Amino acid sequence: MSKKPFNFFAGDAKKHTQESTRTNGTTAASSSSSSKTRNTVPENVPSPSLPSQSNGSLRTSIMEAIRTISNSDPALIESFKQSILELLLSERSIDAIQEDLFNALGVENFELISEILTQRDQVIQVLVDSSDGSNAAGEQYDNTRQSTPILDYEEDDGNPMSNFIVQTKSQSKQRKENRKDQKRAYREVNKVIAGLGETDKLEYQLALKEHQRRMERQFTEVEWTTNGLATRPRQLPYVFDAFEAAGLKSISVDSTKMCLPEGTEFKKTKEYEEIRVPPTSQTIPIEVKRIQVKDLDPLGKLGFEGFKELNIIQSIVFEQAYHTLENLLICAPTGAGKTNIAMLAVLKTIRDHCKPDGTIDKNDFKIIYIAPMKALAAEMTENFSKRLSKLGLKVKELTGDTTLTKKEIAETQMLVLTPEKWDVVTRKADDEELTSLVRLLIIDEVHLLHDERGPVIETIVARTRRRIQMAQHKVRIVGLSATLPNYIDVATFLDINPEKGLFFFDGRFRPVPLAQTFIGVGQSLDRTQQGQQKLFDDVCYENVLKYVEQYHQVLVFVHTRNGTHKIAKYMLEKAANQGQLEAFLPSNITIQPYLKAKKQILNLKNRELEQLFLNGLGVHHAGMIRYHRSTVERLFAEGHIRVLCCTATLAWGVNLPAHAVIIRGTEVFDQQKGVFTDIGVLDVQQIFGRAGRPQFETSGEGVIITNKSKLIKYVTMLIRQAPIESQYMKRIHDNLNAEIAAGII
């Protein structure tokens, strides 16, 4: 299809319309009618049109269409009328005006747009007559032909640019996205026009309804300015996002341009390319009075026993989480305390099911916590069990590794499951006893919607929302997520009111600001696998040395148990060959605590651990004896080990922070698929969450070393460049069959 905007006026009809649209609305309308014959659409698709009748009928049709698009918001209606009026009064070409009208109204209103263009003068008069009492619109209409532009125009191929639109970068980006959506919609329309069978009609209706929904949502999420059709994001009360407002720096990597935060450094050598993104400013934009646990009701005090106060994020969310039933989406950095926000929602549900005498009706509700990994599910089960056991409530884990009888499920008030397990449970058509009691659904790591497991989460949410409609009982949905770019889209998907339930906290709210370094390693000179691995090891050693020379501790993450020993031995040998062993030794090797730690290592009777420890290094993985693992963890926490080479199990298990964490390589072997895959965003964020020691340091360092070809992928994934997009179409056949089998559709 041509890049030129779809036009209702073709050939002589278009020319005739351009000449007569301002002087003879009737003639233009007749031209349009022949055009509409060529662009027939199914009659059962609702599309507002303006009949060529009296001004009274015309005014009614226009206002009805505007009210529908503006969701009957008076301010938005008036602003929308003013913007349309200014557009029609401009001296722009028909094509340009038509394109902006499509951006504003959407392709589903193409008949309305056709009538606006063919009856331009009448529409202008209607908009002027219906203005809110200010004479600005009327004066502009009266004087538009005589007025002289204040700004001088530039000429482009002899055509004067008589319309000026001032836009910010974000507005320009939004405008481009609108054009893309418009072109996609045009393709759908042309596809339907080519063949109008029953199947095509259904596809046409679905496509138009989806586009209409998106356009209506866009109108409710932006404020119109008086400057043409430029828009700006609506200010939401609980969104603290400085990314758009911050200065950006353009960086080109392999012919791909990226806009990264101001202060980003780019370094290129023969072996690798490096991008370093500085930490976010620690200045929090608002002053918040922290919620004191002693001021909570008795239920809250029990749930937060051992806590003195809630942190800043928890204090901001407290009112909506603890005192309302609003659906929530909490986007915050790793380590910001999202688990305690989930606890607030849990306590709210429990309080709502207390009897007048204060006892809890344990058989009247169920709480579901969706954790993305089995390890995380086990951790959450232990956490909530300890805190809710004081209330006499049971928390059980239900994953692929565990099973529960019907009796055990009936006696349990809170279930912690993986997405796949909850999907299986809710698919059963005859098992309504459990799902009918669910009153709270907490989904951890919602940003995995973009992952290959995303369709499962989408299915869970869609099925929950459908059951709410069918059963007419409230199920509260709480989503917990890392920071993501299109948080409004995700909030809409979770049926969240952005004014009340959307909370977004950027990097300023992280306990310790994080600097992120992305290194893309090129091809080795000998082009062998062995040479490539050595190049990775050299780059890793170079970064480790930089941090230990500054007297910092470092965690080096590799993806195999054997790999921890290999990289530790390699660094030890290289340091010995280059005379840099002293840099790895802790500064306290002569004092009593270190000598005591040395004795503990010698008692392990493990020569490899002993040799590494004496040179300031250590290894940690799930294949080690438990006592050996716990000893290494303790010695690292005490500062006797400077560099610890470990697997990702350390990131998901013990909280063992260091100043710097380095991910050496991003290829992980997937046992189920039998191939190497890239490490997921969830693992990277969890590992980077170990960077920086709260209360001891003012910043942390996260380094990821990957192949040069994957550098852009991880930069966009971790610096909020790549939006979360639906992956549902990949599994739509399985999911539709499941819903049909369950009798839901």
- Residues 13-24: what's their mean pLDDT? 38
Residue 314 burial (CB count, 10 A): 26
- Distance from C-alpha of 315 to C-alpha of 482, rounded to nearest angstrom: 18
- Residues 515-534: what's their mean pLDDT? 88
Query: In this predicted structure, what is the pLDDT of residue 53?
Result: 46
The answer to whether residue 252 scores a pLDDT higher than 80 is no
Q: Give CA separation, 82 vs 55, 77, 104, 135, 233, in Å.
A: 18, 9, 13, 12, 19
Give the strands of the sheet with 239-240, arranged side by side.
239-240, 502-505, 328-331, 476-481, 438-443, 366-370, 414-417, 395-398
More confident residue, 732 or 256: 732
Q: What is the pLDDT of residues 654-689, one digit of tens each?
A: 677 889 999 999 998 887 778 888 888 778 888 888
Residue that has been written with the tokens 């009856």 in this structure = 119
The answer to whether residue 447 scores a pLDDT higher than 90 is no
More confident residue, 687 or 395: 395
**What does the mean pLDDT of the chain come to?**
78
- Distance from C-alpha of 566 to C-alpha of 560, rounded to nearest angstrom: 10
More confident residue, 231 or 508: 508
Query: In this predicted structure, what is the pLDDT of residue 524?
Result: 80
Each domain of the chain, given as residue ranges in start order, spans: 11-233, 293-509, 514-718
CB 349 within 8 A of CB 476: yes
Question: Would you place residue 134 in the very low, low, confident or very high pLDDT band (cuts 50, 70, 90)?
Answer: very low
Q: What is the pLDDT of residues 534-550, one digit of tens each?
A: 999 999 999 999 999 99
- Distance from C-alpha of 663 to C-alpha of 702, rounded to nearest angstrom: 8
Position 677, amino acid: T
- Residues 579-591: what's their mean pLDDT? 85
Question: Residue 742 burial (CB < 10 Å; 0-12/13-18/19+)?
Answer: middle
User: Which value, to the nearest 10 degrees, does the dihedral of the CA atoms of residues 714, 717, 720, 726 take?
Assistant: 160
- Distance from C-alpha of 378 to C-alpha of 385, rounded to nearest angstrom: 10
Query: In this predicted structure, what is the pLDDT of residue 305?
Result: 92
Question: Would you place residue 186 in the very low, low, confident or very high pLDDT band (cuts 50, 70, 90)?
Answer: low
The answer to whether residue 649 scores a pLDDT higher than 60 is yes
Question: Residue 505 burial (CB < 10 Å; 0-12/13-18/19+)?
Answer: buried
Query: In this predicted structure, what is the pLDDT of residue 495?
Result: 92
Position 630, amino acid: S
- Residues 121-137: what's their mean pLDDT? 66
More confident residue, 132 or 5: 132
The closest alpha carbon to 731, from 487, 373, 457, 428, belongs to 457
Say which range, 3-12, 423-432, 528-537, 679-688, has the weakest mean pLDDT: 3-12
Sort strands 395-398 and 476-481 into parallel, antiparallel or unpaired.
unpaired
Instruction: Transcribe 113-165 into DSSP letters.
Output: HHHHHHTHHHHHHHHHHTS-S-SHHHHHHHHTTT---SSPPPEETTEE-----
Q: Which residues pair with 216 in a beta bridge?
A: none
More confident residue, 95 or 218: 95
Query: In this predicted structure, what is the pLDDT of residue 337?
Result: 87
More confident residue, 660 or 1: 660
CATH number of 514-718: 3.40.50.300
Question: Residue 309 burial (CB < 10 Å; 0-12/13-18/19+)?
Answer: middle
**In the structure encoding, which two tokens stand for residue 626, read together?**
């438990």
The answer to whether residue 362 scores a pLDDT higher than 50 is yes
CB 697 within 8 A of CB 463: no
Ramachandran region, residue 69 (left: φ > 0; alpha: ψ -120 to 50; beta: rest): alpha
Query: In this predicted structure, what is the pLDDT of residue 257?
Result: 73
CB 202 within 8 A of CB 139: no
- Residues 35-58: what's their mean pLDDT? 44
Position 408, amino acid: E
Query: In this predicted structure, what is the pLDDT of residue 723?
Result: 79
Question: Residue 436 burial (CB < 10 Å; 0-12/13-18/19+)?
Answer: exposed
Sort strands 660-664 and 554-557 into parallel, antiparallel or unpaired.
parallel
Non-local CB neighbours of 537 within 8 Å, separated by 6+ positions:
567, 570, 571, 664
Position 478, amino acid: V
- Residues 378-405: what's their mean pLDDT? 90
- Distance from C-alpha of 125 to C-alpha of 22, rounded to nearest angstrom: 12
Question: Would you place residue 146 in the very low, low, confident or very high pLDDT band (cuts 50, 70, 90)?
Answer: very low
Residue 59 has phi, psi (to 5 degrees) of: -60, -45
Tell me, yes or no, if the pTM score tops 0.85. no
- Distance from C-alpha of 279 to C-alpha of 508, rounded to nearest angstrom: 9
- Distance from C-alpha of 419 to C-alpha of 685, rounded to nearest angstrom: 19
Say which range, 194-203, 653-662, 690-699, has the weakest mean pLDDT: 194-203
Non-local CB neighbours of 634 within 8 Å, separated by 6+ positions:
none
Residue 21 has phi, psi (to 5 degrees) of: -65, -30
Residue 525 has phi, psi (to 5 degrees) of: -65, -40
Query: In this predicted structure, what is the pLDDT of residue 646?
Result: 93
DSSP, collapsed to helix, strand or coil, labels residue 513 as coil
Say which range, 160-174, 405-419, 658-672, has the weakest mean pLDDT: 160-174
- Distance from C-alpha of 433 to C-alpha of 363, rounded to nearest angstrom: 11
- Distance from C-alpha of 343 to C-alpha of 351, rounded to nearest angstrom: 12
pLDDT above 70: percentage of residues in the chain: 74
Question: Would you place residue 14 in the very low, low, confident or very high pLDDT band (cuts 50, 70, 90)?
Answer: very low
- Residues 339-368: what's their mean pLDDT? 93
The answer to whether residue 406 scores a pLDDT higher than 90 is no
**In the structure encoding, which two tokens stand for residue 349, read together?**
């549900």
- Residues 725-731: what's their mean pLDDT? 87
Q: What is the pLDDT of residues 598-637, one digit of tens each?
A: 888 988 888 899 999 999 999 998 888 889 988 999 999 8
Residue 36: DSSP 8-state: H
**In the structure encoding, which two tokens stand for residue 561, read together?**
């148990």
- Distance from C-alpha of 434 to C-alpha of 368, rounded to nearest angstrom: 10
Ramachandran region, residue 472 (left: φ > 0; alpha: ψ -120 to 50; beta: rest): left
Query: In this predicted structure, what is the pLDDT of residue 21?
Result: 39
More confident residue, 348 or 25: 348
CB 461 within 8 A of CB 494: yes
The closest alpha carbon to 311, from 701, 720, 694, belongs to 694
Fold match between 293-509 and 514-718? yes
Question: Would you place residue 370 in the very low, low, confident or very high pLDDT band (cuts 50, 70, 90)?
Answer: very high
- Distance from C-alpha of 11 to C-alpha of 27, rounded to nearest angstrom: 16
- Distance from C-alpha of 643 to C-alpha of 555, rounded to nearest angstrom: 6
293-509 belongs to which homologous superfamily?
P-loop containing nucleotide triphosphate hydrolases (3.40.50.300)
Cα 342 versus chain centre, distance: 19
Query: In this predicted structure, what is the pLDDT of residue 295?
Result: 94
Alpha carbons within 13 A on the beta-carbon side of 535: 23
- Residues 362-372: what's their mean pLDDT? 94
Q: What is the pLDDT of residues 204-248, one digit of tens each?
A: 555 555 555 555 555 444 444 333 343 444 578 899 887 655 566
Q: Which residues pair with 701 in a beta bridge?
A: 515, 660
Q: Give CA separation, 446 vs 336, 379, 416, 494, in Å.
A: 16, 18, 15, 10
Residue that has been written with the tokens 């020569």 in this structure = 607
Query: In this predicted structure, what is the pLDDT of residue 199?
Result: 52
